[in-house]
Amino acid sequence: MSDLISYELEDGVATLTLSNGKVNAVSPEVITAFHQALDQAEADQAVVIITGQPGILSGGYDLKVMQSGVENAIDLVAAGSGLARRMLSHPFPIIVACSGHAVAKGAFILLSADYRVGVEGPFRIGLNEVQIGMTMHHVGIELARNRLRKSYFNRSVINAEMFDPAEAVAAGFLDAVVAPDDLMGAARAKADELKKINMTAHANTKLKARKEFLETLDASIELDRQPMW
């Protein structure tokens, strides 16, 4: 499939593993590889598991691209927002097996999935944009507003607070936390459970439940094409 996103299909479950350097930076090439892998998973009619390397899901967007010019940054954020929207409307369930840190775009990957399981350990999960001097983009605000618990929204988006895995469950970034050795087994068990649902009903209900949210994201993607940082 790709050196950046490996693809493994087993008994109706497609496992997509991100591998792009020490922090699994999300670059334009990574986003393209994600779309190709999701295309294949859709063709295979497979439940999807997304994971990263041991200790990290992703540290966020590729800083080399983000710092190479305003237009490049805007284009990368727009592409990442498009990936989030696609994940939220994907016709088959998407599970993220969060293998460690999930920062900025890494955390937004969590917010774009149907089920999220993380690992115990000294890991940080959250949205650090304000912390590093970036004004949060519109899509990021709306993803957080929709998926995080209300009591954590300001703490996460405006105060750039980072959370350990247990509090990431309380915040709404994760649904469960397990021991590192149990991560892929837990993700696979959830995938096998979700394989039993009616996928047509799943897809239709997902689109109906998220209709207004997806429309908000579409409008926000256009707003984010204007430089805001």
Q: Write out pLDDT tens, residues 5-38.
A: 999 999 999 999 999 999 999 999 999 999 999 9
Q: Write out pLDDT tens, residues 80-115.
A: 999 999 999 999 999 999 999 999 999 999 999 999
The pLDDT score that the predictor gives to residue 221 is 96
Q: Is the pLDDT of residue 227 over 80?
A: no
Torsion angle of C-alpha atoms 138, 140, 141, 142, degrees rounded to 10: 90
Q: Is the pLDDT of residue 229 over 60?
A: no
The pLDDT score that the predictor gives to residue 137 is 95
Structure token pair of residue 221: 């993607």
Which candidate, 44, 81, 83, 46, places its Cα nearest to that of 188? 46
Which candidate, 119, 36, 5, 27, places its Cα nearest to that of 77? 27
Give the global pTM. Answer: 0.96
| Separation of alpha carbons 75 and 61, rounded Å | 12
C-alpha dist (Å) from residue 181 to 54, 93, 118, 148, 191: 10, 23, 11, 27, 17
CATH number among 3.90.226.10, 2.60.40.1180, 3.10.20.30, 3.90.76.10, domain 5-181+197-223: 3.90.226.10
Residues 6+ apart with CB under 8 A from 116: 95, 96, 98, 110, 173, 174, 175, 176
Beta-carbon count within 10 A of 94 CB? 24
The pLDDT score that the predictor gives to residue 1 is 60
Strand order in the sheet with 125-126: 55-58, 100-103, 125-126, 162-163
The pLDDT score that the predictor gives to residue 15 is 98
Q: Is the pLDDT of residue 51 over 60?
A: yes
Determine the angle formed by the axes of helices 28-43 and 70-88, rounding to 10 degrees: 20
Mean pLDDT over all residues of the chain? 96
Number of H helices, E strands in the chain: 10, 10
- What are the residue boundaries of the structural domains of the chain, listed by start? 5-181+197-223
